[in-house]
Amino acid sequence: MSKTSPYALKDSGLFVPSSPQEFFKTEVRTVDQGYFGVFAIEQIPQGAIIGIDGGTVVSSVEDVPPEKRYAVLITEGLFLAPNDYEHLENFWYLNHSCTANVARIGGLVFVAKKMITIGEQLTIDYAPLIAGVPQWTMDCLCKAPSCRGRISGEDWRDPKIADHLWHEWLPFIQKRILANRS
């Protein structure tokens, strides 16, 4: 039985593709303690478009089942959620890293920030995915030398993080960052 959000916006396909597209081969593998991650099964060059996200548009992260809190910001007040919570596409398994090798640009396009080798895990910084959701926080487990320790929906307020992830913030968050600086 598939589980979709009962709060999906009618005609979500007008906002985003109905399903993601992958341009490089990846696979989902178990990483730690029953968690999963996405791994390259072919080399992905730096700057390459890995894929385009797709799914169902909802107006709040509260609109998705609590046990399946998969939703990412695509514009102010709208979130992208999976079409089917029982059969997630690979992009939903991207893990966070403070030194991510994948960026999500414009809310939908996944780009390689560096050369990704065969067998390497694809990771993304979650801060731009949940920016502007003040109650959202997560303890970071990436263990990178530059690990921030905690990721939050308010990370965009930190000038260092804001600058580091500038191209990954959605335009309305970029406007907030600039407004905070003036």
User: What band does 182 get if pLDDT is binned at 50, 70 and 90?
Assistant: confident
Query: Is the pLDDT assigned to residue 165 strictly greater than 60?
Result: yes
Structure tokens at 179: 């407004």
Residue 179, exposed/middle/buried by CB under 10 A (0-12, 13-18, 19+)? exposed
Does residue 23 belong to any structural domain of this protein? yes
- Confidence at residue 79, expressed as pLDDT on a 0 to 100 scale: 85
* 120 vs 41: CA distance, rounded Å: 8
Is residue 4 included in any domain, yes or no?
no
Q: How many CB atoms lie within 10 A of CB 47?
A: 10
Q: What is the pLDDT of residues 129-163, one digit of tens each?
A: 989 888 889 999 899 999 999 999 999 999 999 99
Structure confidence by residue, pLDDT tens digits, 6-46: 555 566 555 677 778 899 999 999 998 788 999 999 999 99
The CATH number that applies at residue 122 is 2.170.270.10
Higher pLDDT among residues 3 and 73, named by residue: 73
Residue 116 predicted with pLDDT over 80: yes
CB distance 83 to 19 below 8 Å = yes
Dihedral Cα 157, 72, 66, 35, nearest 10 deg: -100
What is the gyration radius of the CA atoms in the chain, in angstroms?
Answer: 16
Domain encompassing residue 74: 12-181
Are 26 and 39 in contact by the 8 Å Cβ rule? The answer is: yes
Helices (H), 138-182: 159-164, 171-181
**H/E element holding 95?**
strand 95-96
pTM comes to 0.88
Do the beta carbons of residue 126 and residue 136 sit within 8 Å? Answer: no
How confident is the model at residue 65, as a pLDDT?
66
138 domain-assigned: yes
Q: Domain total for the chain?
A: 1
Query: How far is 182 from 171, CA to CA, in rounded Å?
Result: 17
Judge whether 6 lies within some domain: no
Q: Per the domain annotation, does 87 fall within a domain?
A: yes
What pLDDT score does 67 carry?
Answer: 65
